[in-house]
């Protein structure tokens, strides 16, 4: 840099300004009071959900109304009466308890109870295990 020429410095003033007030600062209580004292026009709008803990989307919409008008009852299939009677009869013929049968098919005793009471949702895999353990056909034609 020694042979390039004379060095000059730029001494122009640099002005740093604050940002223009954003929406949050315009709503600040101090700013509103200062505007009132200055005689400026102030607009206040009451929000419909103000003071509540509900989101704007929680109001009843078209989809909610459709769900309310829906009349179809949806339920899981349950074990048919014939199947639960067949399981109970086959288990009694083999002189097994529910716990023993459950141990034979590697399931919990509660599963056997649910099948025999008709509360279980039919699972073809479990029904297949029951058929093999009891040595009888439980599904389809006899």
Cα 48 to Cα 95: distance, rounded to the nearest angstrom: 70
Please answer whether residues 115 and 79 qualify as being in contact, where contact means their C-beta atoms are separated by less than 8 angstroms: yes
| Residues 84 and 118 sit within 8 Å (Cβ to Cβ) | yes
Instruction: For residues 62 and 67, give the distance between their C-alpha atoms in angstroms, rounded to a whole number.
Output: 9
Residues 6+ apart with CB under 8 A from 42: 32, 35, 36
Tell me the pLDDT band of 52, cut-offs 50, 70 and 90.
low
Instruction: Read off the pLDDT band of 7 (50, 70, 90).
Output: confident
| All domains of the chain in start order, with CATH | 81-134 (1.10.260.40)
Between 18 and 91, the higher pLDDT residue: 91
- Give the separation between CA 139 and CA 95, rounded to whole angstroms: 21
Q: How many CA atoms lie within 13 A of 138 on its CB side?
A: 28
Cα angle vertex 83, ends 80, 89, to 5°?
A: 140
Enter the pTM of the model.
0.49
Q: Please state the rounded mean pLDDT for residues 35-39.
A: 84
pLDDT of residue 99: 95
d(CA 141, CA 98): 25
Note the pLDDT of residue 130. 95
Assess contact for 96 and 104: CB atoms under 8 A: yes
CA 27 – CA 43 distance, rounded (Å): 11
Alpha-carbon span 84 to 105, nearest angstrom = 16
Residue the block writes with tokens 């029904």: 127
């Amino acid at each position: 840099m020694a042979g390039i020429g004379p060095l000059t410095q730029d001494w122009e003033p640099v002005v740093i300004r604050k940002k223009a007030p954003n929406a949050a600062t315009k709503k600040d209580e101090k700013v509103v009071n200062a505007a009132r004292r200055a005689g400026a026009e102030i607009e206040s709008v009451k929000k419909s959900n103000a003071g509540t803990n509900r989101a704007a989307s929680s109001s009843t919409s078209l989809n909610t109304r459709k769900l309310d008008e829906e009349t179809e009852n949806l339920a899981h299939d349950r074990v048919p009466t014939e199947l639960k009677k067949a399981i109970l009869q086959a288990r009694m013929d083999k002189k097994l308890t529910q716990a023993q049968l459950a141990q034979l098919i590697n399931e919990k005793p509660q599963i056997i109870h649910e099948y025999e009471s008709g509360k279980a949702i039919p699972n073809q895999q479990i029904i297949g295990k029951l058929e093999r353990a009891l040595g009888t056909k439980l599904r389809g034609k006899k």
